[in-house]
Amino acid sequence: MDLKIAILAGDGIGPEISAQGVDVMNAVCKKFGHNVSYEYGICGADAIDKVGNPFPDETFRICKQADAVLFSAVGDPKFDNNPTAKVRPEQGLLAMRKQLGLFANIRPVQTFKCLLHKSPLRADLVEGADFLCIRELTGGMYFGEKYQDNDKAYDTNMYTRPEIERILKVGFEYAMRRRKHLTVVDKANVLASSRLWRQIAQEMAPMYPEVTTDYMYVDNAAMRMIQEPCFFDVMVTENTFGDILTDEGSCISGSMGLLPSASTGESTPVFEPIHGSWPQAKGLNIANPIAQILSVAMLFEYFNLNEEGALIRKAVDASLDNNIRTPEIQVENGAKYGTKEVGKWIVDYITNA
């Protein structure tokens, strides 16, 4: 298979983990006889510094013409600490999602048996946790009408029926491929937009009679994720709630550096780690590359190259089981491995498999 991949390394630790993802992709393509080519684009703070735009037209062109995008992270403290900044790195993310029509963000939450002790929750609660958070990505408050002055500000949380229907369809279809349990998360007791979500979900549920569909207020869902994470199979929700809940879910595994995600929709899909740019760690060779590497696995699986994805997952499991880990998840008194060393170990495993 021929693959044309857009690489958006972004800011902070992005270039370091991006390099490991590309190395893994090269190793897999060589092993399975695929041809892969890359085109690199700038985004985030890096792009603001260079051209004044966090998602330049040229980067959009590169993404649009690719089969998939391997993205890393954006963000820089000089923007975080300036509330009056008119242009921010994160605006590049929103622009990419909107311009590519990426309305569905899929974040798997899972635990690794050898790392249960790293979770902030008790091992007996998180063992076996394995669910998907599906977040609507191009609607709601993040994209609604906004206003701000010195005395008043608002963000409009607007959704249309087609926007809700298409993301619920993604949720139901994933549930059908998994354990046939879908939880629709909303705040229908307070928000009109949530009541429309629930109404449409109830209309669609009979179309998927094999799926057990339940409904949960977002505050209850947040508590249930901590109290009983194994309850969930597939969770679907709107943009703002999804942003918060997916970050909460990422903590269950014990490190944000372990979990990948995919954003799909009308155009080129994007695969990325769930974490941010961690600028404090830039250049220190301590960032965990596993989320980026597992994003590569999701990329292959998106194109039904499941054997390739499975080999990457096997290599990651083997690295963790052999304590080839970056500092935040290393066992006490274990050997020290950096970003590059973990990536190289996984590449060598794939090459020799």
- Quick: pLDDT tens for 110-124: 998 888 888 899 999
pLDDT of residue 251: 84
Active site residues: 142, 187, 219, 243, 247
Residue 94 pLDDT > 90, yes or no?
Answer: no
Place 289 in a pLDDT band, splitting at 50, 70 and 90. very high
pLDDT of residue 8: 98
CATH number of 1-103+265-353: 3.40.718.10
Place 71 in a pLDDT band, splitting at 50, 70 and 90. very high
Structure tokens at 142: 């993040």
Q: What is the largest CA-CA distance in the chain?
A: 63
Query: Domain segments of the chain: what residues?
Result: 1-103+265-353, 106-254
pLDDT of residue 254: 82
pLDDT (mean) for 204-209:
98
d(C-alpha 216, C-alpha 184), whole Å: 6
- Please determine whether the domains at 1-103+265-353 and 106-254 fall in the same fold group of CATH: yes
pLDDT of residue 198: 98
Of 44 and 84, the structure prediction assigns the larger pLDDT to 44
Strand 130-136 to strand 146-148: parallel, antiparallel, or no bridges (unpaired)? Answer: unpaired
Structure tokens at 150: 């010195």
Residue 336 pLDDT > 90, yes or no?
Answer: no
Which one, of 88, 3, 14, lies nearest residue 276 by Cα? 14
Place 106 in a pLDDT band, splitting at 50, 70 and 90. very high
C-beta of residue 92 within 8 angstroms of C-beta of residue 84: no
Residue 82 pLDDT > 80, yes or no?
Answer: no
The CA R_g of the chain, rounded to the nearest whole Å, is 20
pLDDT of residue 203: 98
- Give every strand in the sheet of 35-40, ordered side by side: 35-40, 2-10, 68-73, 270-273, 260-264, 104-110, 130-136, 234-237, 181-186, 212-217
Which phi and psi (to 5°) does residue 55 adopt?
Answer: -145, 80
d(C-alpha 173, C-alpha 188), whole Å: 23
DSSP conformation class of 303: T
Q: What is the mean pLDDT of the chain?
A: 95
Classify domain 106-254 at the CATH class level.
Answer: alpha beta
C-beta of residue 79 within 8 angstroms of C-beta of residue 45: yes
d(C-alpha 94, C-alpha 100), whole Å: 10
Place 285 in a pLDDT band, splitting at 50, 70 and 90. very high
Place 304 in a pLDDT band, splitting at 50, 70 and 90. very high
Residue 85 pLDDT > 80, yes or no?
Answer: no
Strand 130-136 to strand 234-237: parallel, antiparallel, or no bridges (unpaired)? Answer: parallel
Which one, of 112, 113, 148, 111, lies nearest residue 131 by Cα? 111
d(C-alpha 110, C-alpha 246), whole Å: 12
Residue 257 pLDDT > 90, yes or no?
Answer: no
pLDDT above 90 coverage of the chain, percent: 84
Q: DSSP per residue over 68-121, as a string? A: EEEEEE---HHHHT-TT-SS-HHHHHHHHHHHHT--EEEEEEE--GGGGGGSSS
Which one, of 267, 236, 222, 225, lies nearest residue 69 by Cα? 267
C-beta of residue 143 within 8 angstroms of C-beta of residue 156: no
Element (H, E) at 138: none
pLDDT of residue 78: 86
List pLDDT tens digits, range 125-156. Answer: 999 999 999 999 999 998 899 999 999 999 99
